[in-house]
Amino acid sequence: MSKDLILIVDDEQNIIELGRLYLENEGYGVEAANDGVEALKKFEALNPALIVLDLMLPELDGWEVCKRIRATSDVPIIMLTARTEDVDKIVGLELGADDYMTKPYNPRELVARVKAVLRRGGKTAEPQVSILQAGPLTIDPARREARLDGRLLGLRTKEFDLLHTFVENAGLALSREKLLELAWGFDFYGETRTVDMHVAHLRDKLGADDRVRIETVWGVGYKMVIDG
């Protein structure tokens, strides 16, 4: 029996079949969609454990598909792009993708990234983690909830991971590279600019409460300061 179901969304059949071959050899179930509309229908019907999503799709492009999925789900998404521009990668990550790969890709690397993203997303069993209390801020890793003075902060997957990382390292100056390592994982091949974007979102959601703030450490990165 397959460990998890992977949905591959691509309009190139050879890309789908190559991914299917290597993923099924690792014990994963694989379903495919050839355009954005079909992708959304299969996502709703199949509830996959992870989606491999091409950006350049007919009907609806990958950015729009990712945006619509993220409105209701935190399912892990690996984006595929034939482009090399950093802006494509950054926009994809900003919309909520967990990782990206540039086509053509090594199918063994795809398998490795699928395993890594599922592991980071908590798809494998992990020991119970205690609730963290930092001044007025409460972090519940099991429920993946963060509250400020009891108010639930509506955080996306990576926003929560980044805030959790900051709280665990409160008072320490962390470089963008270190934050990528801690919040995204050792095997994340992202751009450091995505850290800046996620920090900006966290600051907006934390609001103007000076008791809990993310400060910029010039020449280094960021640190969380908790006074309350």
Q: What is the CATH number of the domain that holds 196?
A: 1.10.10.10
Of the candidates 174, 175, 166, the one whose C-alpha atom is nearest the C-alpha of residue 226 is 166
Q: Which of 120, 149, 171 is the last residue of a domain?
A: 120
Residue range 96-116: mean pLDDT, rounded: 84
Inside any domain, residue 126 = no
At 130-146, the pLDDT tens digits run 788 888 999 998 788 89
**For the chain, what is the domain count?**
2
Which position has the token pair 């398998």?
Answer: 111
Tell me the residue type at 168.
E
Q: What is the CATH number of the domain that holds 53?
A: 3.40.50.2300
Q: How many CA atoms lie within 13 A of 8 on its CB side?
A: 24
Question: Same structural domain for residues 13 and 109?
Answer: yes
Band of residue 84 on the pLDDT scale cut at 50, 70, 90: low
Question: Same structural domain for residues 10 and 107?
Answer: yes
Cα radius of gyration rounded to whole Å, the chain: 18
Inside any domain, residue 125 = no
Q: Is the pLDDT of residue 161 over 80?
A: yes
pLDDT of residue 126: 41
Inside any domain, residue 153 = yes
**Using H for helix, E for strand and C for coil, what is the string for the chain?**
CCCCEEEEECCCHHHHHHHHHHHHHCCCEEEEECCHHHHHHHHHHHCCCEEEEECCCCCCCHHHHHHHHHCCCCCCEEEEECCCCHHHHHHHHHCCCCEEEECCCCHHHHHHHHHHHHHHCCCCCCCCCCCEEECCEEEECCCCEEEECCEEECCCHHHHHHHHHHHHCCCCCEEHHHHHHHHHCCCCCCCCHHHHHHHHHHHHHHCCCCCEEEEEECCCEEEEEECC
CB–CB of 222/199 below 8 Å?
yes
Q: Which two tokens stand for residue 196?
A: 């800046």
Question: Same structural domain for residues 151 and 191?
Answer: yes
Q: Which two tokens stand for residue 73?
A: 């789900």
CB–CB of 64/90 below 8 Å?
no
Of the candidates 125, 145, 141, 118, the one whose C-alpha atom is nearest the C-alpha of residue 48 is 118
Question: Same structural domain for residues 27 and 68?
Answer: yes
pLDDT of residue 2: 46
pLDDT of residue 125: 38
Separation of alpha carbons 55 and 52, rounded Å: 10
Inside any domain, residue 94 = yes
Inside any domain, residue 127 = no
Question: Same structural domain for residues 156 and 55?
Answer: no
Question: Same structural domain for residues 100 and 177?
Answer: no
Question: Same structural domain for residues 115 and 141?
Answer: no
At 173-219, the pLDDT tens digits run 999 888 887 887 655 555 677 888 889 999 999 988 889 999 999 98
Pairing of strands 212-217, 132-134: unpaired
Inside any domain, residue 143 = yes
| Averaged confidence pLDDT in the chain | 84
pLDDT of residue 11: 92
Question: Same structural domain for residues 16 and 114?
Answer: yes
Range of the domain at 173: 132-226
CB–CB of 29/9 below 8 Å?
no
Q: Which of 90, 120, 150 is the last residue of a domain?
A: 120
